[in-house]
Amino acid sequence: MKQTVIYCRVSTDAQNHGVQLAELRSYCATRKWTNVEEIVDTITGSTSSRKGLDHLMSLVRRGKVGAVVCYKLDRLGRSLAHLVQVVTEFNTHDVALVVPGQGIDTSLSNPAGRFQINILCAVAELEHEMIKERVNSGIAAAKARGVRFGRPVTRDVHRNDIARLRAQGKSGRAIAAALNIPTSPVFRMIAELEAVAA
C-alpha cells in the first residue's frame, strides 16, 4: 500500500517544524490517512540538494508514495522551474500533491487542483522558451559581430606545423601529441598533404 508523505522544510536551525507538522498531521487525520511518513529538511530553499527532499524523490521514483502533503509550495521547490520539475515527476509516478493551506490537491478526484498544476507548468514552459529565445538572440548578435562558436579549426591553425613535423618523419600520433591536438584532424591533414604532393 502506498504511503502519504508529509514534507516540511525550514530555513535555519533557529526555526522548527512544529507548526507545519501540527497542521499537516491534523489534515492527514481528517482525511483518515494512517500510513504516513514525515520527512523534514532544515536548509535554505535555494540549495539544490536537500537530504530530505532527495529521500522523498527516491521514494516517489520507487513507487512507494501515493500523496505528498506540504505546508506551502515554496517549502517544496527552490524556484518555479524546480517546483514544476518536482510536480511533473509526481505526476509521472501518479503521486498527488496536497497543499491544504493553499487549496491545492492534484489528486484525480480534484479537477481544480489539476488545473492549477497545468497553469504552473504552462508558466514554467513559457519561462523556458523566453530564456531559450534570449540565448538564441545573443548567439545571433555575437555571430553578427564575428564571434566564432565551436571548436577551433585545427586545419588552419596547425597546417604548417603538421607539414613540417611530417617532413621530419614523425607519425600522425606523434604529431598530435607534439601539438596537443586530437589525432583525427592530424590524419586528415596528412592525407590531404600527401594527396597534393602525389
The alpha carbon dihedral of 12, 15, 17, 19 has a sign of: negative
Considering the candidates 11, 79, 107, 171, report the single residue annotated as catalytic.
Answer: 11
Strand order in the sheet with 36-42: 36-42, 3-10, 65-70, 96-99, 104-105
Q: C-alpha angle 89/93/96, rounded to 5°?
A: 85
Give residue 186's identity as a one-letter amino acid code.
V
Smallest Cα–Cα separation from 121: which of 154, 160, 95, 86? 86
How many of the other CB atoms lie within 10 Å of CB of 19?
A: 12
Q: Cell digits for 190?
A: 596528412
How many of the other CB atoms lie within 10 Å of CB of 146?
A: 6
Q: Could you confirm whether 11 is annotated as catalytic?
A: yes
How many helices (H) and strands (E) in the chain? 8, 5
The residues assigned a catalytic role are 11
